[in-house]
């Protein structure tokens, strides 16, 4: 099932994703009865049939005129919607919705319990219809998770990973295993090679780097056929990344920076640089969640988590009205006012943020 779901996802509530019976089907599998959205803006196919064989889609059509192979396993998903799997272009698989990073990592013992929470997050992504994701900043414990997902041992999306990010700035409250601190372009090149040798699919560069730093990372990464993703907000940093031929821009346009001028936007467009704006991560608390807080108490999520982890996550939700973590819907401040001011001042000193 996990491999099949990498092609299509079923949008539903009660459908199980843990059936081992069809994990590696030796027989064709037919999903029958759903409304099918093909991803090409065609009209939906009602009462559809989608047939898989040996991990590939071999037939798609309406139930009345699409023959099902003899001996195929038929899965009735009438009343549900079948659609191409979603691709999440920026995730952190270690996060499962906790409301305070500093407190969360302290609770986990920094990275000691990542092996527990990462499979939970992977399963939740798959339940949400995400069948491919790129993780841009998690310690290398994620290698084991990626291996198990690829082997079909646990449910989860196809993962492309960066491992720790490369930076010149320490982020308060984040364990050092998440970051590789460099002091020179030469060191950036060495660390990039080490990341690739350890199994990184892409490289993530974080705040505080110079154009020479970016260029050193890009040169090594491109020699190995690896793309570089940059965590960017400020126009100066964006221009440096453009000059260094960084491949993908993450977060650009989602923070309260001065509006980007037409020349900068033209440079991004002219260089055909993909921009992953991550708009929703600046929302933090959705108005619907404030209006209906009971949605946070999802019995499916509770079943997934060890009792103490679930209690810790829920407690962080219950406190968000009282803590400085959320001052208003949409505010960008994440932790306390003191921590926020510290980070803001650090970024200004390094030319990363106004």
Helix (H) or strand (E) holding 53: strand 48-53
Q: What does the domain layout of the chain look like in residue ranges?
A: 2-84, 86-282+333-349
**Which CATH number describes the domain made up of 2-84?**
2.30.40.10
Q: Report the topology of domain 86-282+333-349.
A: TIM Barrel (3.20.20)
Distances (CA, A) of 100 to 87, 106, 120, 287, 314: 26, 10, 18, 19, 11
Q: How many angstroms from the chain centroid is the CA of residue 47?
A: 32
Strand order in the sheet with 29-32: 56-62, 48-53, 29-32, 73-76
Per-residue pLDDT of the chain (354 residues; tens, 9 = 90+): 444 444 455 544 334 444 434 445 578 999 999 999 988 889 999 999 999 998 889 999 999 999 999 999 999 999 999 999 999 999 999 988 777 778 899 999 989 999 999 999 999 999 999 999 999 999 999 999 999 999 999 999 999 999 999 999 988 888 999 999 999 999 999 999 999 999 999 999 998 999 999 999 999 999 999 999 999 999 999 999 999 999 999 999 887 677 899 999 999 999 999 999 887 665 556 677 777 777 778 888 889 899 999 998 888 776 555 444 344 434 443 333 433 343 343 334 334 433
Residues paired with residue 133 on neighbouring β-strands, in sequence order: 88, 159
CB burial of 45-61 (b: ≥16 within 10 Å; e: otherwise) equals: beebbbbbeeeeeeebe
Identify the pLDDT of residue 283: 55
Beta strands in 69-222 (DSSP E): 73-76, 81-84, 86-91, 130-135, 158-161, 165-167, 179-181, 202-205
Identify the pLDDT of residue 227: 99
Identify the pLDDT of residue 319: 56
Identify the pLDDT of residue 320: 56
Identify the pLDDT of residue 39: 87
Identify the pLDDT of residue 148: 97
DSSP annotation of 93: T
Q: With contact defined as beta carbons under 8 Å apart, do 197 and 229 qualify?
A: no
Retrieve residue 8's tokens: 């299509």
Identify the pLDDT of residue 326: 45
Identify the pLDDT of residue 280: 67
pTM: 0.81
Q: With contact defined as beta carbons under 8 Å apart, do 208 and 230 qualify?
A: no
Among 11, 6, 304, 53, residue whose Cα is nearest residue 150: 6
Tokens 């921590």, located at residue: 339
Residues 50, 35: Cα–Cα separation, whole Å: 11
């Amino acid at each position: 099932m996990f491999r099949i779901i990498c092609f299509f996802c079923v949008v539903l509530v009660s459908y199980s994703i843990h059936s081992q019976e069809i994990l590696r089907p030796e027989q064709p599998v037919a999903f029958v009865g759903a409304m099918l959205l093909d991803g090409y803006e065609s009209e939906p196919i009602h009462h559809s049939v989608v047939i898989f064989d040996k991990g590939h889609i071999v037939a798609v059509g309406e139930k009345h005129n699409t023959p099902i192979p003899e001996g195929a396993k038929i899965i009735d998903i009438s009343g549900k919607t079948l659609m191409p799997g979603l691709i999440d272009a920026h995730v952190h698989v270690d996060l499962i919705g906790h409301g305070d990073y500093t407190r969360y990592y302290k609770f986990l013992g920094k990275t000691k319990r990542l092996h527990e929470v990462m499979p939970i997050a992977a399963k939740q992504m798959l339940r949400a219809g995400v069948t491919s994701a790129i993780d841009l900043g998690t310690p290398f414990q994620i290698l084991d998770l990626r291996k198990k997902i690829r082997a079909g041992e646990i449910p989860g999306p196809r993962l492309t990973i960066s491992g720790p990010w490369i930076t010149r700035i320490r982020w308060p409250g984040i364990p050092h295993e998440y970051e590789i601190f460099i002091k020179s372009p030469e060191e950036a090149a060495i660390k990039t090679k080490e990341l690739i040798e350890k199994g990184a699919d892409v490289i993530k560069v974080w705040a505080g780097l110079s154009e020479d730093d970016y260029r050193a990372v890009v040169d090594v990464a491109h020699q190995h056929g690896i793309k570089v993703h940059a965590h960017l907000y400020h126009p100066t940093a964006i221009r440096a990344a453009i000059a260094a031929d960084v491949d993908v821009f993450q977060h650009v346009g989602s923070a309260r920076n001065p509006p980007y001028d037409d020349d900068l936007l033209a440079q991004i467009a002219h260089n055909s640089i993909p921009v992953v704006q991550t708009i929703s991560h600046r929302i933090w608390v959705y108005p619907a969640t404030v209006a209906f807080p009971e949605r946070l108490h999802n019995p499916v999520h509770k079943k997934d988590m060890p009792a103490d982890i679930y209690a810790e996550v829920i407690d962080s939700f219950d406190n968000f009205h009282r803590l400085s973590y959320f001052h208003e819907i949409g505010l960008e401040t994440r932790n306390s006012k003191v921590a926020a001011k510290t980070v803001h001042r650090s970024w200004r000193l390094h030319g990363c943020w106004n």
